[in-house]
Chains A and B, each alone.
Chain A
Amino acid sequence: DAKTTQPPSMDCAEGRAANLPCNHSTISGNEYVYWYRQIHSQGPQYIIHGLKNNETNEMASLIITEDRKSSTLILPHATLRDTAVYYCIVRVAKNYGQNFVFGPGTRLSVLP
């Protein structure tokens, strides 16, 4: 079973920031938080990952709470092309494999 919970769907206006929450209350100290997204019928696309500190790259920012029990993916200026299913995954550092479990994700709709 996935170790994360996410809202099933969210809407965001084009040009505004999209904030996607993820709860991972049972996360262990050596587990990373990963975010992927999947645009309709394509393979999942890597977005960002982190362990403890907040992270930022050209696609998004990842904010992890101090207790690490939840995180938020931020798309600073959402566009229509950001419409996708977003998956939050926790993974122990030792291996992927059966430890890399996808939940149902959040379906983000960016509206014009």
Chain B
Amino acid sequence: ETGVTQSPTHLIKTRGQQVTLRCSSQSGHNTVSWYQQALGQGPQFIFQYYREEENGRGNFPPRFSGLQFPNYSSELNVNALELDDSALYLCASRLGGAGGTQETQYFGPGTRLLVL
């Protein structure tokens, strides 16, 4: 167990709908990253939040957005869902710092999203 939790575990949506996924980081961790993992592929980085600010983003369109709260928990929001958004969404947390860090990143169990 990493202490990183995600909800819900599974979700089914239809094309065009919006979805919110949630992540609670490990105690003491102030940095949260989100990843998308399509079937049979490695996780792809979506974005990262540090102290409630987005400070890094992968190659994902603006309809993928996020939030981080003062308790460092985080949300991933996806608007206008497309069939290709069907994937395992992973959240990872670590202790970050402005000057960079070698702290280890720990992943949650993921939320499996199916878009019909």
Contact = CB atoms under 8 A, between A and B. Distances in A.
A97 B45 CA distance: 7
A43 to B, nearest CB: 4
Given A42-B110, A43-B108, A104-B41, A97 B48 contact: yes
A94 interface: yes
Contacts of A49: 102, 104
B42 A102 contact: yes
Contact of B104 (A46, A87, A101): A46
A99 B55 CA distance: 12
A10 interface: no
B58 A98 contact: yes
Chain B: interface size category? 20 to 34
A48 to B, nearest CB: 9
Contact of B105 (A41, A96, A104): A96
Contact of B45 (A36, A44, A100): A100
Main secondary structure of the interface of A (DSSP, over half): loop
A41 B39 CA distance: 9
A13 interface: no
B94 A42 contact: no
Interface in A62-112: 87, 93-98, 100-105
Contacts of A45: 2, 107
Contacts of B92: 43-44
Interface string A26-62: 0000001010100001111110010000000000000
A101 B46 CA distance: 11
Contacts of A87: 42
Interface of B: 2, 4, 31, 33, 35, 41-45, 47-48, 55-58, 88, 90, 92, 94, 96, 100-102, 104-110, 112
Interface of A: 2, 32, 34, 36, 41-46, 49, 87, 93-98, 100-105
